[in-house]
């Protein structure tokens, strides 16, 4: 299921990060690696704020669609 469809407050484990190589690499560095738990904190028109490894990261909708949990 893409991260953009996850319910607020629910903890999920990341399965796969897709998208362009450059952005995928950047996300991996921010902690979006397979197995990492991730929680959606807030959602605004598909753009989301997630909690991962104790950091809050804002992600645009296009990218949130490409992160599978």
Partner 1 sequence: MAIKMALAGNPNSGKTTLFNALTGAGQYTGNWPGVTVEKKEGKWKARKDVTIVDLPGIYSLSPYTLEEVITRNYLLSERPDVILNIIDGTNLERNLYLTTQILELGIPVLVAVNRMDLVEKSKDRIQMDQLGELLGCEAVPISAQKGTGVLEAAEKAVALAQKQTSFALPYAFDERVERAIASVGERLGSDIPAERKRFFAIKLLERDDKIVEQIQTLPDVSDAIEALERTFDDDAESIITNERYACIASVLKSCYVKNETNRLTVSDKIDRIVTNRLLALPIFAAVMFLVYYVSVTTVGGWATDWVNDGLFGEGFHFFGYEVPGIPVIAERALQAVRCADWMQGLVIDGIIAGVGAVLGFVPQMLTLFACLGFLEACGYMARIAFIMDRIFRRFGLSGKSFIPMLIGTGCSVPGIMASRTIEQDRDRKMTIMTTTFIPCGAKLPVIAMIAGAFFDNSGWVACSAFFVGIAAVVCSGILLKKTKAFAGEAAPFVMELPAYHMPTAGALLQSMWERGFSFIKKAGTVILLSAVALWFLQGFGWVDGGFALLEEGQAEYSVLAAIGGILAPLFSPLGWGDWNMAVAALTGLIAKENVVATFGVLSGYAEVAENGVEIWSVLAAGMTAAAAYSFLVFNLLCAPCFAAMGAIRREMNNRNWFWFAIGYQTALAYAASFCVYQFGTFAATGTFGGGTAAAILVTAAFLYLLFRPDLELKRVYGKKKLGINI
Q: Which residues bind partner 1 (CB under 8 A)?
A: 9, 19-20, 22-31, 33-34, 36, 41-47, 49, 51-63
Token pair for 53: 């490894």
Token pair for 9: 């407050």
Between 23 and 68, CB nearer to partner 1: 23
Between 59 and 69, CB nearer to partner 1: 59
Q: In angstroms, give the least distance from the CB of 46 to partner 1.
A: 7
- Going from the C-alpha of 44 to that of each of 14, 29, 40, 62, 64, the distances in angstroms are 21, 24, 11, 13, 12
């Amino acid at each position: 299921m893409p991260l953009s469809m996850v319910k607020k407050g629910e903890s999920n484990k990341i399965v796969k990060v897709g998208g362009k190589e450059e952005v995928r690499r950047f996300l991996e560095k921010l902690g979006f690696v397979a197995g990492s738990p991730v929680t959606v904190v807030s959602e605004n028109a598909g753009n989301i704020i997630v909690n991962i490894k104790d950091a809050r990261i804002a992600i645009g909708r296009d990218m949130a669609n490409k992160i599978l949990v």
